[in-house]
Amino acid sequence: MTEGVRSSARLGAARLDPMGALRRSHACGAIGTELIGREVVVAGWVHGRRDHGGLIFVDLRDRDGLVQIVFRPEVAADAHERAGDLRNEFVVLARGVVERRSPETVNPRLPTGEVEVVVHELRLLNTATPPPFAIDEDAGADETVRLRHRLHDLRRPPLQRALRTRHVLYQSARNTLSELGFLEIETPILAKATPEGARDFLVPSRLQPGEFYALPQSPQIMKQLFMVAGFERYFQIARCFRDEDLRADRQLEFTQIDLEMSFVGVEEVLAVLEELVWRAWRDTVGVELPRPFPRLSYEEAMARYGSDKPDVRVLLELVELTGVFRGTSFRAFGAAVEKGGVVKCLPVHDADALTRGEIDRLESFVKKELGAKGLAWVRVTADGSWQSPIAKFLSDAERAAIAERTQARPGSVLFFAADEFAKANAILGRLRTDLGRQLGRVDERAWAPLFVLNFPVFERGDDGKLTFMHMPFVAPVEEDLHLFDSAPERMHGTHYDVVMNGLELGSGSLRNHRSDVQRRIFEILGYSKAEMEERFGFMLNALEAGAPPHGGFAFGLDRMAMLLAGAESLRDVIAFPKTQRGQDLLMGSPSAVEDQQLQDLRLRIAPAPKGGDA
């Protein structure tokens, strides 16, 4: 029998006290020197107990903090006796008088550390089994254990602070958008399946056998319909669902700050986004971000940083060398250029700290983790010579061009990637951030907001066919409409992202308010007229009913909360998150359902394929 169970059995149900007329007067974290001499009533969980052979000290915890309560036999013998049976996480209510601690017992680490409550009456409201880990800053427990015992985990100060931060973020967003004239309107959770870049969660219909709802990946179409309906400014803190693989910054269900505006261009939308982000940082962490936010085009971001969500605090930049190796005799680079790829370089100056062993480790990393074929490099030695496995393959003219463009000098190490555009940038973009932080090439700004603009409308998929880069409703820039027939892959869209410290906070765009433009995009994506009508007929009809120019945005609220709370994972800012296998370990979901429920929905569970996952 555990100690908590033994204590519970010893105390018995008769010893559990009702609160009666006694009510909490102050939060534990609110007991300060201004209350000395006053009677207070505090309630919470026993965080720790110390018996000093006559005096019993208990740290009492609620969501606002800790306060020390003291039991003295000469003050309240019954309360003192009962305090001897208290254990961690028991729930108690105590009435007493606030006294100043003696100088040698003051705890400067606690806001309440100058005072204590001398207890006159103790009421035990509930017992508790022993917690599986310490309810402390660092639980010292594996995350799986913490998720299985999420109720205890949520009592810990870091998660309490994180969810409080999330609350302030909610209120800041609501207040800001309401002041800017937006209306908060809810959209359905049971919706129609539409292609938005991820797999839908499907919900079978009992009333319409064989047909399905989809949980919304976002309220994208519905918020556009609000604009057609004349609401002009909409927002919603919306729940969204995507059946995709999980990672540290992705969950199956997530929350967006979703908004849409009518009769606007890109500049009007960006002004709202900047105001919302600026106020969110001010309200939650007390930081006033510098304004206006810097801007980069998609092309410039990829050229300089190898990423469309760069952390611009890292003081390293990429250099484009594709033209240098057009027609080169160095086949490793020349072949990539001939296939339409790129050659890029990451120069790292004053890099004596990068040993040959470290370079070999980086090469192994990009091969295993990023799918690179290799990692070419050059070290410029103290006498100016080039030390490198590829140096002998480079002509004098190529060396001179590389040196000029990268500003190579003694002590420089140059890393090269020759591959498809996306892969070369992914490799060097990742090395840029990793090496920048490892070598201390980061400026001192805590926060670096950024707008990234002018993304392409289309990109090539793995099958070589054109697909949408962001989503199929992005409006192309007006001056590129003539490229529909000749070169759609060169069309730029009115897409814009908000980036903070290398994390994408959200994306948006102006939308197609003309049905002819929207139909043309669907054609390029391979939809037949019949498929357009089946999947998007209601949307196309709405555009033809008099749709105003409109645009909007969706912030990833979970990701914003993670940044603001200083958390390492989205799971630390979500009350009841899923594991990377999509499981809720506290509630035991997903789980099997009764046969009758399946029969009502006319569903049958197919056996798992042999050798496959269940």
Cα dihedral across residues 543, 268, 524, 252: positive or negative = negative
H-helix segments, 88-156: 143-148, 150-154
Q: What is the token pair recorded at 552?
A: 């909007």
Q: Domain map of the chain by residue range?
A: 3-126, 160-295+450-580, 314-442
What pLDDT, on the 0 to 100 scale, is given for residue 608?
78
Strands 65-71 and 115-126: parallel
What pLDDT, on the 0 to 100 scale, is given for residue 445?
87
What pLDDT, on the 0 to 100 scale, is given for residue 53?
83
Please compute, for residue 201, the number of CA atoms within 13 A of its CA located in the half-sphere on the CB side.
Answer: 18
Cα dihedral across residues 471, 300, 491, 545: positive or negative = positive
Q: For domain 314-442, which CATH number applies: 3.30.1360.30, 3.40.47.10, 3.30.70.20, 3.30.365.10?
A: 3.30.1360.30
158/63 Cα distance (integer angstroms): 11
> Rounded to two decimals, what is the model's pTM?
0.90
Per run of 10 residues, the mean pLDDT along the chain (length 614 residues) is 46 68 95 97 97 93 96 96 96 97 94 97 96 92 94 95 97 98 97 78 93 93 94 97 78 95 97 98 97 96 96 96 93 92 96 92 91 91 93 93 96 95 94 95 93 93 84 92 91 96 96 94 92 90 94 96 93 92 91 91 85 53
320/176 Cα distance (integer angstroms): 42
324/346 Cα distance (integer angstroms): 15
Please compute, for residue 445, the number of CA atoms within 13 A of its CA located in the half-sphere on the CB side.
Answer: 15
Q: What is the token pair recorded at 603?
A: 């569903």
Neighbours of 270 (CB within 10 A): 21
CATH number for the domain running over 3-126: 2.40.50.140
What pLDDT, on the 0 to 100 scale, is given for residue 15?
72
Fold adopted by 160-295+450-580? BirA Bifunctional Protein; domain 2 (3.30.930)
- The single-letter DSSP state of residue 342 is E
- Rounded to 10 deg, the angle between the 157-179 and 557-565 helix axes is 130
Q: What is the token pair recorded at 198?
A: 């991820």
What pLDDT, on the 0 to 100 scale, is given for residue 612?
52
What pLDDT, on the 0 to 100 scale, is given for residue 7?
47
